[in-house]
Amino acid sequence: MSYGRFAAITPDILARKGEARPWTIAPPTAEPASQASSRPLVRPETAGPPPVATAVKSAQPPRPGMAGGAPPLVPGVRKCTIRMSGHDFERLGIIAVKDDTSRQHLLQQALADFLAAKEKQYRAACQCMAAAPCGACETF
C-alpha cells in the first residue's frame, strides 16, 4: 500500500489554533431502561389539544404592494437573475477579460443599451420609458 498521494502530517498542520477546554454544560444523565419505559411518551403540558394562535393586530399599516401587486418602486440597485447556457457564460467571460471588466458590467451595459432602444421605440406613446410618468401605465 502506497501513501505517496497524501500530504505528510507536519507540525504546521497539527498546530493548535486555541487552547482546549472541557465542555461546560453537563450532558443529561442517562436513566435506566426500566424507569424510561414507565414514563408516558407525551409530556403533560402537550397532552391536550394544540394551542390556537390568536391574531395579533400589527402596529404598522400594511405596506403597499404586499397584497399581491408589484412592490413599490424605490431608488437604488435591484437584483435580477439571468439564466444562460454554459457556452454563452464562457463567451461573456472571455469578452469581460478582453475588455478588462466584469460579466456584471457587460450585462448592465447591454441592458442599458436595450432599454435606450426601447425608450426611442415607445417614447411617442408613453413617457414612462423616459422616467416621466404619463399616468396611463400605472407603473410609477
DSSP string, 65-120: TTTSSPPPP-SS---------HHHHHHHHHHHHHTTS-HHHHHHHHHHHHHHHHHH
Question: Is residue 108, in this structure, part of any structural domain at all?
Answer: yes
Cβ-contact 119, 108 below 8 angstroms: no
Q: Going residue by residue through the chain (140 aa), what tens digit of pLDDT does each one get? A: 555 677 777 777 766 666 667 667 766 666 666 665 566 666 656 566 666 666 666 556 555 545 555 666 667 888 889 999 999 999 999 999 999 999 999 999 999 999 888 888 877 777 677 666 666 665 54
The whole domain housing 125 covers: 85-140
Per the listing, cell 404586499 goes with 66
Residue 123 lies in a domain: yes
In a domain, 2, yes or no: no
136 is a domain residue = yes
State the total domains in the chain.
Answer: 1
3 in a structural domain: no
Other CB atoms within 10 A of residue 22 CB = 4
CB 107 within 8 A of CB 82: yes
Say if pTM beats, i.e. exceeds, 0.85.
no
Instruction: Assess if residue 31 is contained within a domain.
Output: no
21 assigned to some structural domain: no
User: Is residue 49 assigned to a domain?
Assistant: no
